[in-house]
Amino acid sequence: MRDINTINRKTKAAAVLIFVTILLLISNYFIGLNSKKTNENMKAIYNDRLMVSHYIFQYTNAIHQIKTHVIQSSTNDFEKQNFVSKSLENNSTIDKKYLATVLTATEKNQFKNFQNQCDAIQAANQRKDWNELIRLSGQSLQTLEILAQIQIDEGKTALTTANTLHNGNKIFAQFEIVLFIILGCLSAYLLVLKKMKVKIKIPEAPSMN
């Protein structure tokens, strides 16, 4: 009977051991999944937010230079036209890089507005309508400010998501520590049961002498 009780205890402990092991595997899976998502969010912050912010800075700098150059009275119309055309041409090379990033619907609309404004600036440049060009430059700078604010907001959202996933990993890690402690206790318990032996004394036959 004691043997049966020992076997039952071993079976229950082994079942719990298997269950804890399964929980550890599940926990490891979710930690790996969260780590992957965290890495993706961090890459998105760099590729789709920081790089885009750099492009917006380049656009803003170019438009400011165009506006300043046109306002200067010391340059003639030919120099103004040439400078504006080259600056807008340089901007168009950035367009491909900008559009290659992941953009929200709002970003796409605002960037389309900016491209239309650049086209309008080029048209005013060809007409030598400097007052109109200065006005359009101001509008395009406002559009770029909106795009820059979108980058800040989207970057904050991505960072918050990454932090949430990281905190989730910390919780899973603490959960794993508890499971490892339970695993160790169960292993020790099974080892103790294995060493326990039931000793049955067999009575000796009475001496015939």
What are the tens digits of pLDDT across the range 95-124?
888 888 878 888 889 999 999 999 999 999
Q: What is the pLDDT, as a whole number, of residue 40?
A: 65
- pLDDT per position as a tens digit, 134-149: 999 999 999 999 998 8
Is the pLDDT at 177 greater than 70? The verdict is: yes
Q: What is the pLDDT, as a whole number, of residue 199?
A: 42
Q: φ and ψ at 200, to 5 degrees? A: -110, 120
Residue 134 to residue 138: CA distance in whole angstroms: 6
Mean predicted confidence (pLDDT) in 71-90: 87
DSSP classification of residue 101: S
**Residue 92's domain spans which residues?**
2-195
Query: Does residue 175 form part of some domain?
Result: yes
Neighbours of 193 (CB within 10 A): 13
Is the pLDDT at 198 greater than 50? The verdict is: no
| Best CA proximity match to 98, nearest among 51, 140, 46 | 51
Residue 118 to residue 125: CA distance in whole angstroms: 10
| Best CA proximity match to 66, nearest among 110, 123, 125, 144 | 125
Q: What is the pLDDT, as a whole number, of residue 197?
A: 47
Is the pLDDT at 200 greater than 60? The verdict is: no
Query: Does residue 201 form part of some domain?
Result: no
Query: What is the band of 201 on the pLDDT scale with cuts at 50, 70, 90?
Result: very low
Q: What does the radius of gyration of the chain's CA atoms come to, in whole angstroms?
A: 36
Residue 100 to residue 35: CA distance in whole angstroms: 25
Query: Does residue 154 form part of some domain?
Result: yes
Query: Does residue 36 form part of some domain?
Result: yes
Number of domains forming the structure of the chain:
1
Burial grade of 148 (CB within 10 A; 0-12, 13-18, 19 or more):
middle
Contact 69, 75 (CB under 8 A): yes
Query: Does residue 203 form part of some domain?
Result: no
Q: What is the pLDDT, as a whole number, of residue 19?
A: 73
Query: Does residue 111 form part of some domain?
Result: yes
Residue 128 structure tokens: 């030598």
- pLDDT per position as a tens digit, 6-65: 556 667 666 766 777 777 777 667 766 666 666 666 666 555 677 788 889 999 999 999
Query: What is the band of 202 on the pLDDT scale with cuts at 50, 70, 90?
Result: very low
| Best CA proximity match to 73, nearest among 159, 22, 134 | 134
Residue 41 to residue 165: CA distance in whole angstroms: 10
pLDDT higher at 197 or 66: 66
| Best CA proximity match to 67, nearest among 6, 125, 25 | 125
Query: Does residue 15 form part of some domain?
Result: yes
pLDDT higher at 35 or 131: 131
Instruction: Please count the helices (runs of H) and the strands (runs of E) in the chain.
Output: 5, 0
Is the pLDDT at 130 greater than 70? The verdict is: yes
Query: Does residue 59 form part of some domain?
Result: yes
